[in-house]
Amino acid sequence: MEVPASLTELGPRICILGPSNSGKSTLADAIGQCADLPVVHLDQLHHLPNTAWQPRPRDAFHSLHDEAIAADRWIIEGNYSSCMPQRFARATGVILLDVSTFTSLRRYVRRTWFDRKRVGGLEGAHERIRWAMLHHITIATPGNRKRYAALFETLSLPKVRLASVREVGRARAIWGLG
């Protein structure tokens, strides 16, 4: 799907998928403000606040997730494949951010060094370079990008794939996100 001229074409329940540090949280916040949609950051539901990104028990996370998607209107960003089926069953539109691994790595380094209060961050968690995350971005992200792209192709919802920083910027301009 080409970038729709209006966000309304994606409906009132939009999922944003993509690799770590692809810009999902930032785009979700911008769309949420523009379209007056409540923003749900799955990282904030999956992890306990005021920890060093300690995950919640799986059942507690799924309960919070299912409560969030039961609402009539939202934009939700994040992956967490264990609860994708129910999320897609409620979604009215999907955006896939398919930016390069280099872009994800650059964004991760920038946010840990300069963006101390990043969009979608975990309350009380300090951003810092972690070898596990560097490994995840450089080793796991290329495979994840392929998985997300294949999943995206199977979806029958209105959808848009943004495969570069330039395409994200173009979509932001079309949608009046600034």
Give me the residues paired with residue 75 across strands: 14, 39
Per-residue pLDDT of the chain (178 residues; tens, 9 = 90+): 588 889 999 999 999 999 988 999 999 999 999 999 999 999 999 988 878 778 899 999 999 999 999 999 999 999 999 999 999 999 999 999 999 989 988 888 887 777 656 666 656 566 677 788 888 888 988 888 899 999 999 999 999 999 999 999 999 999 999 7
The beta strand positions in the chain, using DSSP E, are 13-17, 39-41, 74-77, 93-97, 159-162
The CATH number, out of the four listed (3.40.50.720, 3.30.70.270, 1.20.840.10, 3.40.50.300), of the domain defined by the range 7-174: 3.40.50.300
Task: Order across the sheet with 39-41: list the strands.
Answer: 39-41, 74-77, 13-17, 93-97, 159-162
pTM for this structure?
0.89
Label each residue of 84-128 as H, E or C: HHHHHHHCCEEEEECCCHHHHHHHHHHHHHCCCCCCCCCCCCCCC
Are the CB atoms for 53 and 61 separated by under 8 Å? Answer: no
Helix-helix angle 24-35:165-174, to 10 degrees: 0
What ranges do the domains of the chain cover? 7-174
